[in-house]
Amino acid sequence: MIEKYDLDIVGGRSGCYGDPAFGSSNFGVLGAEMRDGLLYVIEANEFPRSSPSAMLDVMEDMSHRFNDNCKIDSAHPGFIRDLEERGIPALPVNFGLQIRDYETANIQSLRSKMTINSAQMVKNGKVKIHPSHTKLLSQMRSAQFDKKGGIDKEELNADVLDCFIMACWDLKEFDYSHTDIIQGKIGEKKSKKSVFFEVETVE
């Protein structure tokens, strides 16, 4: 998956992702773009001991470059609110959200589902990472699954890696930007066909 490619945005479906941290760990940011069904990581950075105002500037700039598609770890609602006050439509990602899988009847956290999804995308050759993104590559090489299927963070700093799994989840093969609720089901309107998904959120 590691190869050199154009790091300019070429106009595909894209997004930027942030994992805020002020003082305790690094602030991770990542920008990615879909090209011909493959996810290309355009930017992947970490900022140590960053100030909220400086990171607001960074995320505001990234959001405008990545189609104003901005997702932020929901553990930092104040930062999301500050972005919204700047006119950035930032959406929270709740890593701890519990989701029931109707095929297996198992309940998994969103973090677990996003981690497994990104691992499958890498395994299936759906991801390209530029060799200059050394921090992301280092964290990916070191990552281990925890007992719940997420990333084991006991000995790993995974700030930019969390952004990566958000990007893989948000920009995966199907575009869910247009959905309709029909008789309790979510229908994905794509071309002339609709695909329906049973969805239940467990509080």
Q: What is the mean pLDDT of the chain?
A: 81
The predicted structure's pLDDT at residue 145:
72
Going along the chain from its start, the domains and CATH numbers come out as 14-172 (3.30.420.280), 178-203 (no CATH)
As a whole number, mean pLDDT of residues 108-120 equals: 88
- Enter the tokens of residue 99: 């989701």
Highest-scoring range by mean pLDDT, 7-16, 17-26, 105-114, 184-193:
7-16
d(CA 177, CA 62): 20
Could you read off the pLDDT of 18-45 as tens digits, one per residue? 998 765 678 999 999 999 999 999 999 9
Q: Is the pLDDT of residue 3 over 90?
A: yes
Strand partners, 8: none
Could you read off the pLDDT of 149-192 as tens digits, one per residue? 666 666 667 889 999 999 999 998 554 444 444 444 445 444 44
The predicted structure's pLDDT at residue 103:
67
Q: Are the CB atoms for 80 and 74 separated by under 8 Å?
A: yes
- Enter the tokens of residue 181: 């609720």
Strand partners, 10: none
